[in-house]
Each structure stands twice: as structure tokens, then as C-alpha cells.
Amino acid sequence: MLQIDRWKRILIVGLTLLGLAMAAPNLFYERVEQHNDAVKTIEQTGVETPELIAARDGWPNWLPNRLVNLGLDLRGGAHLLGEVQVEQVYKARMDSLWPEIRRAMSDQRETIGAVRRLPAPEGILKLEIENAGAIPQAVEIVRGYSNPVTSLTGAGQQSLAIQADGNQITVQLSDAEKTATDQRTVLQALEIIRRRVDEVGTREPTIMQEGQDRILIQVPGIGSAEELKGLIGTTAKLSFNSVVGPTRDPDQAVSVGQEILPSQDEPGLYYIVESNPVVSGEELTDAMPATDQNGLPAVDFRFNPSGARKFGEYTSANVGQPFAIVLDNEVVSAPTIRQAITGGSGQISGKMEYAQANRLAVQLRAGALPAELNFLEERTIGPELGQDSIDAGSLSTIIATAAVVAYMVASYGLFGVFASISVIINVILILSFMGMMGATLTMPGIAGIVLTVGTAVDANVIIYERIREELRRGKKVVRAISDGFNEAMSAIIDANVTSFIAAAVMFFLGSGPVKGFAVTLTIGLVTSVFTAIFLTRLMIVWWIELRKPKELIL
């Protein structure tokens, strides 16, 4: 029959009230957001300023404080699409391999003779040995630096492709290793970008891979695309290199293994440096904004034990010689080593502002990007445009809800009112679920909510039409309502399961706006089944128990 056990009634009402309570903070969005930001800042820094205390106390701690995160198109912010220059990683691998091979071959100098590096395209290491008859021996030495490819597609293949011709050897990454390197490089870039963005406290950024070597970056609430590029657009690759000498000619011929880099402080001045660094930024453990001895902005850094040892050994052996602090292929400074630096720490100073020093510290702490990003798309969405989108989305949702309510009331009278209440609660439950999940609401997501409003009453329409059929057969009110619910159940479940499958496919195979639409649609399917089958039924049971109708006009 139509009876509902007490525990079921309590559960239905409890879940509904819980959903309403969890959605309530969205009515006070700005106040709750300021409260959450203040709490997070106080926890991270341990400092309580009057402004932070006021923002924290603006919302009671005992109330729910989960908000629906607003996407880029609703909040405004910056959008970038970057392409990772994976070829640079090939070059770096070959450049780092050359000193190792040279050292190994020097141990066999009696048979191999002298070895030198020949000019070659980037990503290719070309060697020439003095004794052509020792080529097989030299190839074996090079092959010793080749390892099995660590990927499923490259199983059984080696990392280096080695070719010998006369007394020359050409070395480059194999195709399988290039594929594996591309994947690792993009994933590493994703993680580093995510750390850099998270460190400055942005909310709910979207950072994801698109295609083979592209990364989509969307950060709501940030000022402009230029600001975002300033944060993540450089590799922040720090290294300490030996200085061969200064020059004013950027086209001066240099030996293999050397390069000319511009000075960051003095235009027109260049430095010839050894390409292979003494210490790299990968051995950096910390970086903090500071001031130098003149009170100007600077960045203090500290090496790990390995980097501290190498830095100490180099400075001990080169007292009186200059060395270059190189950041992103520019010489920040080239000081002279006055004494051995064995403490494993140092300072970067130069012509920078405090904001630049803070940004540089963030970049160094997060780590260097493995390769540069070439930005293919960049857009800035202003807050005004985002607010316009919110207003348009809210208006469309209100109009759709009002139209559905009017249709249901006109078609089914009091039962249409019950269905309308369920539809309104359904929208609120969608927002509460999104807040608890930490999901992000976008314009396509609002479209998903509007579609849910239009389809949420489908289950009620099916139920009410079945009740009408049972009434036409002469059944009494309670029996007709009970059978109507029971008979409509299978059709409702089938319809929602097929819609859920379509939403799941959109979520897993789609990206960006498609995923936003799929998320709200999936949540809406779950909540609409709950409100249509359980909440509407409970309201009808209460009405029957209160009025005890002998007949029903539906």
C-alpha cells in the first residue's frame, strides 16, 4: 500500500533538510568566501591581523561553509593554452650525456685516442674519435649509457639510437624513448604548474593535458592572462655555471660545450659560460624573498646536501674566479668568488621589485619547468562579464523553473504543486551536492541545471499518468496512487539509467565545458529520482493522511 515507515520518513526529511542546509552558504557567497580565505590564511601563516579576524568572524564556524566553486566563465580570470617544447628535453639529455661519455672515453685514451664533439642539430650528439679502428669499442662505451625504455609501448627497446660512420658516432634518443620522454615531460610540467598556481592561493584552477603536448590552464579570479603567464610562463631554471669570460659580441665564436648568455642587469653585455652547470636548480630545496645588503629585493636559496657539496667544492677550487648565476638563459649576476661557500645557501639579487622577488621564489620552490611553454591561446575574462553570465544563467533557471511549475500546476492541480516543490528542492540539492564535492559550476553547468529542471518532472508526469489510468479503472484513491507509483518505477529507472550512461560518456571522453555539463546533469539525475520518487510520494502520503479524500480528480 501507500504506507511509508517512520524511519523512512525521517530519512527522507533528514536528507532534504541536510541538503538545504549545505546549500544555504551560497546565499551569502561573498561573506562565506572571505571567511574561508581568512581561515586558510591564518592556518598557513599563524598570523591573525584585524582584517583576517573580521573576515573569519563574518560567518559562524559551526555553520556549513562549503561553496559551489565558480568557473572561469562565471568568475572571470585567465585562460592559457600552452604547448610544451619537448624538443628542449632531448637537447638537455644529449648535453648532459656528453661529459659522461667524454670522461669514460678518456679512460680508454690509449686505444680510442682523442675525442671531440662536433656541431650537430639540437637533440643530437655527434662525436669524432681519433682512432677509427676503435669505433666498435667507442660504440660499446656509448651503449653503456643506453637503458631499456620504461614504458609499455617501448618495452624491449633501448633509450639511445646509436649510429657509427667512419670515425664518427651519432647519438640521439630512440623513437620509443622520445615518446616516453614526451609523456613524462608533460606530466611533470602539469605538476609544476599546479604547484606554482596553488602556492599563490588561487581557487579551483583547471590544469589539464590536451592532446599530446599541450596544457590547458584556467585560473578563476586572477587579474589577467599576462599575470598568469608571469607566474608560470617561464621555466625558472636556475643554474650556476663556470664563466669563461665577458664579451660584447653576441655572435662571437665559442667552443663546443660553451654558450653565450646575455646579462640581465647590463644591456649589451654577454658572458661566455660552460653549458654544463656546476649546480642545477633541481638541487634547490628552498627559496624565500628577502633583501640584500643594500635593502633591495632579493631571493635567498638553499641547496640540498648534494648541491651544497658540489657548490662548496667548486667555490673552494675557484677562489678569485667569476661564476654565473643563470636564470632562464640570462645571467642574473656574475660575482667573483671571494671565499669558499660551504654552507649550501646563497642569494640572488639584481634589478627586481618585491613582487618579482616573491614570484621568483614561488617559481624556484615549485621547481623548474622541464621545458618552455609556447602559449597558443591566451584570454582574460573580466569579472563584469562573469557577473553577466551569472545573471543570465540565474534568469534562465528562474524562467525555466517558473514555466515548469506553471505547466505542472495547470495540468495536475495540487499534485502539480507537490511536483513543483520537488523541482525547486531538486535544484537546491544539486547545488549542495556540488558544494560538498568541490565541483566547479560553469555556464555549461548552468545549462545542465536548466535541462534538469525541464526533465526533473518527467518522473512525476509518468507517475501521475499511471495514477490517472488506475483511477479510470475504478480503483480507490489510495490504491490507485500506490499502483501508479509502483507501475511507473521501472520506466523511471530505465530512463534515468540511459541518461546517466550518456552523461558518464560525456564526462570521461569530453573536456572543459562538456565535463561541466556532464557533472551537473549526473548530479541532477540522482537528485531528481530522489525528489520525484521519495519526496513527492511523502508529500502525497501526508496529504492523504490529513484530508482522507474519498475521490481524486487528477
Over residues 132-156, mean pLDDT: 80
Residue type, 362: V
- CATH class, 6-27+63-68+384-547 region: mainly alpha
Over residues 16-34, mean pLDDT: 90
Kindly state the cell numbers that stand for 329: 638563459
Q: Identical fold at 87-177 and 240-347?
A: no
- At 513-538, the pLDDT tens digits run 677 788 888 888 889 888 888 898 89
Q: pLDDT at position 146, please?
A: 84
The model's confidence at residue 337, banded by pLDDT at 50, 70 and 90, is confident
- At 173-198, the pLDDT tens digits run 888 888 888 888 888 788 778 877 77
CATH of domain 87-177: 3.30.70
Q: pLDDT at position 20, please?
A: 92
d(C-alpha 158, C-alpha 180), whole Å: 11
Strand ranges (E), 134-283: 160-165, 168-173, 206-210, 214-220, 238-247, 258-262, 270-274, 279-280
Q: pLDDT at position 200, please?
A: 60
Helix axes 458-472, 383-412, angle to 10 degrees: 0
pTM of the entire structure? Answer: 0.60
Q: pLDDT at position 16, please?
A: 93
Q: pLDDT at position 153, please?
A: 66
Q: pLDDT at residue 404 above 70? A: yes
Over residues 112-134, mean pLDDT: 87
Q: pLDDT at position 367, please?
A: 63
- At 420-436, the pLDDT tens digits run 899 889 989 998 988 88
Which of 177-186, 342-351, 361-370, 424-433 shows the highest mean pLDDT? 424-433
d(C-alpha 69, C-alpha 485), whole Å: 37
Q: Which of residues 299 and 174 earns the better pLDDT score?
A: 174
Q: pLDDT at position 308, please?
A: 83
Q: pLDDT at position 184, please?
A: 80
At residue 367, the 3 state secondary structure works out as coil
Q: pLDDT at residue 201 above 60? A: no
**Cross-strand partners of 241:** 324
The model's confidence at residue 225, banded by pLDDT at 50, 70 and 90, is confident
Q: pLDDT at position 176, please?
A: 86
d(C-alpha 227, C-alpha 233), whole Å: 9
The model's confidence at residue 359, banded by pLDDT at 50, 70 and 90, is low
Mean pLDDT computed over every residue of the chain: 82
Q: pLDDT at position 15, please?
A: 92
Question: Distance from CA of residue 233 to its chain's centroid?
Answer: 15
Over residues 443-449, mean pLDDT: 81
Over residues 94-108, mean pLDDT: 84
Query: How far from 508 is each of 219, 484, 511, CA to CA, in Å?
Result: 22, 36, 8
Q: pLDDT at residue 455 above 60? A: yes
The model's confidence at residue 202, banded by pLDDT at 50, 70 and 90, is low
Q: Which of 138-142, 353-357, 482-486, 501-505 has the lowest mean pLDDT?
A: 353-357
Q: pLDDT at residue 17 above 90? A: yes
Q: Is the alpha carbon torsion for 277, 281, 283, 289 positive or negative?
A: positive
The model's confidence at residue 108, banded by pLDDT at 50, 70 and 90, is confident
The model's confidence at residue 386, banded by pLDDT at 50, 70 and 90, is low
Q: pLDDT at position 362, please?
A: 66
- CATH class, 240-347 region: alpha beta
Q: What are the domain boundaries of the chain? A: 6-27+63-68+384-547, 87-177, 240-347
d(C-alpha 285, C-alpha 161), whole Å: 35
Q: Which residues contact 198 (CB under 8 A, 6 or more apart)?
A: 205
Residue 235 and residue 369 in contact, taking contact as beta carbons nearer than 8 Å: yes
Over residues 393-406, mean pLDDT: 81
d(C-alpha 478, C-alpha 3), whole Å: 10
Closest C-alpha to 120, from 171, 164, 86: 171
The model's confidence at residue 10, banded by pLDDT at 50, 70 and 90, is very high
What is the four-CA torsion angle of 505, 509, 513, 519, rounded to 10 degrees?
40
